[in-house]
Chain A
Amino acid sequence: MSNIIEIKKLRKVYGDGVELVALDDVDLTIEEGEVLAIVGPSGSGKSTLLNMIGLLDTPSGGEIWLKGQNITKASPKERARLRNKELGFIFQYHHLLPEFTAVENVMMPLLIAGMDKKEARHRAITLLEEVGLGDRLNNRPNQLSGGQNQRVAVARALAGHPSIVIGDEPTGNLDSKSSDMIYELLRKLNREMNQTFILVTHDMDMAEKTDRILRLVDGRIVCEMRREGDEFVSRDICRAD
């Protein structure tokens, strides 16, 4: 498998006077088709790392390579294009556009990409059927439950055939039943389409279903565990924290 993301000595420092190091020389390689969980306490830099990979934020130092291309210093326009083409986002809050119906929300990344409306609608309907919302196409977010909205958000994240799907606490707002359902959905899509999933989560149940778990503390990767069969095996010596 080839590396889809390579991160070299990535740093992010916030603040003018008092500096806050959010990411401290992080090195990370992510393979295509991998399902990766990033865990760690609040303020450990999980979301920052995710925003870097998602091209929403820019690093203070180091490099990010996406599919063999150095995108550390890409222009805002190029980053927007890559977000549209290569990335799909699922957030803790679904962030659906409240005025738009489920199908219109799923169409949105496709329309941004310049796809014809009719074609986009067709693809959106297929996706919504896949996430089990074929009968909720024309409902607005306020007419759907939390779990249903998150499924719409999943469908939207997948609409543009992104190579990487980023989830920032994708199930953080859901009950365990809905959480399981969302995770199973992601896993199924991963198997079918070989998409890469990078998930930030507090939910260890979910993390333990992934292929690899990274633990971040104070902006550093302190532990990395890989699945081998049913077991997780630590690659490095994992510090207790």
Chain B
Amino acid sequence: MLELFVAMKHIRTRKRQTALAMGAVGLAVAIIIVFRAVMNGSIEIFFDLIFELAPHALVLPKEGEEYIYLYKTLIEFIWTIPGVAAVSPTLSTTATLSFEDEVENVELTGGIPSEMNKVMSLDKYMIVGDFYAISSGRRVILGEGVMEKLDVKIGEDVVANFPDAKTMNLVVAGVFRTGIEEWDQGAYVSLETTQEFLGEGDVINYINIHLDDPYQGDAVAEEISARGYDADSWRTLFPEFEETLAFETFSNNLILALVLLIASFGIANVMNMLVLEKTREIGMLMAMGADGPSIRKVFVIESGILGLAGGTAGSLFGYIVSTYLHSLQYTITAPTAPQPIVIKFLVDPFDLIAFPLLALILSMIAGVYPAHKASKLDPVIALRG
């Protein structure tokens, strides 16, 4: 094809201009790839944290009931659903904890320690003591916030009471810190302890479920709902996670699109200069019988090639940089986070193809105006230069 032949010749012989145009687009695409890789990485870190600590699905009592009474049958059923990784029957209530002169209202959560740990990974967040200590006796694990407010030490007794509840002494067996303030205001005991505290018998008020794939939460919740229980997935429980994320992703992508747009202006500029520089030759091509559409095609194809080549090089470069940065295992520490966070650079293979293609399209659009200008040249004037 004539147009491709001419366009390729320009690209090959005008090395500096080609490098400039490709460099602008390539750099933009590389930045986008790396930026999105770190975005994907932090989303994964964020969701890992959420999925570690939050229920994937939560079962509440039937409508009009305060507790789940026949919870053992229900748990048996839940275990039959494929993909279920942990089922934690829980009885939680508000309790007033007091130590000497200090008093604090907390959410007192009772569960089976091994299952409870599977759905909340609390043992990972223990600062002092062992999470499994609550398995026997009247022991309690306190969030760091509660601990500080009550000004209590390990091994000391706190008093738990509440209207209609049995007053009991609990030995402080450990402290945890998740970094999430709300959770660090909680206290954990065994299921038997809360059952005794409330005096309602062998009942629970919710079941916290973890799944192999958290994204199956909706399906699992639906199956349990069919049995008359009020079951929800993390999606419905915490819609703000995905909303926040969607907004973040949108605003980031907007910035990235602008980066690419600016780069394609670089191509428009190079093409514009090319058309000015090539006026006589365009006139000669017209004299030889090349018509307007054909001239236009030369320049649109040329900007397209520059965009695609630059975009592909940038994509490759971005991938290499991301992979390298990922391999560094660079860590950051947040003041509230219990453990340093390893920054991840996760490249989505889709990006590696999509952004060079986007660069191609934007560059072709950028080339349209200079190409149109070239095609509209009057051959007589063009030949004069």
B291 touches A95 (CB 8 A): no
- How far is A58 from B54 in the complex, measured between Cα atoms in Å? 78
Q: A80-B291, A98-B281 are in contact. Are A111 and B2 (CB under 8 A)?
A: yes
Give the residue name and chain of the B residue nearest to A91 (CB): B383
Q: Note all chain A residues with C-beta closer than 8 A to B294.
A: 112
B288 touches A100 (CB 8 A): no
Q: Note all chain B residues with C-beta closer than 8 A to A85.
A: 289
Cβ-based interface call for B379 (8 A): yes
B289 touches A84 (CB 8 A): yes
Q: Which of A99-120 contact B (CB under 8 A)?
A: 99-100, 104, 108-109, 111-113, 117
Q: Label chain B's interface by main secondary structure.
A: helix
- How far is A96 from B284 in the complex, measured between Cα atoms in Å? 8
Q: Note all chain B residues with C-beta closer than 8 A to A96.
A: 284
- How far is A83 from B292 in the complex, measured between Cα atoms in Å? 13
- How far is A76 from B286 in the complex, measured between Cα atoms in Å? 10
Interface stretch (choices B5-13, B55-63, B140-148, B303-311): B5-13
**Number of residues on chain B facing chain A (CB within 8 A):** 24
What 0/1 pattern do residues 15 to 41 of A give for CB contact below 8 A with B?
000000000000000000000000000
Q: Which among A57, A89, A99, A117 is the interface contact of B288 at CB below 8 angstroms?
A: A89
- How far is A95 from B284 in the complex, measured between Cα atoms in Å? 6
Give the residue name and chain of the B residue nearest to A100 (CB): B9
Cβ-based interface call for B283 (8 A): yes
What 0/1 pattern do residues 1 to 40 of B give for CB contact below 8 A with A?
0100110011011100000000000000000000000000
- How far is A84 from B290 in the complex, measured between Cα atoms in Å? 8
- How far is A87 from B379 in the complex, measured between Cα atoms in Å? 14
Q: Which of A179-211 contact B (CB under 8 A)?
A: none
Cβ-based interface call for A45 (8 A): no
- Pairs A–B under 8 Å by Cβ, sample size 16: A51-B380, A56-B380, A57-B380, A76-B291, A80-B290, A83-B287, A84-B289, A89-B284, A89-B288, A95-B281, A95-B283, A97-B6, A100-B9, A109-B288, A109-B289, A156-B288
Interface residues of A (CB under 8 A from B): 51, 54, 56-57, 76-77, 80-85, 87, 89, 91, 93, 95-100, 104, 108-109, 111-113, 117, 156, 160
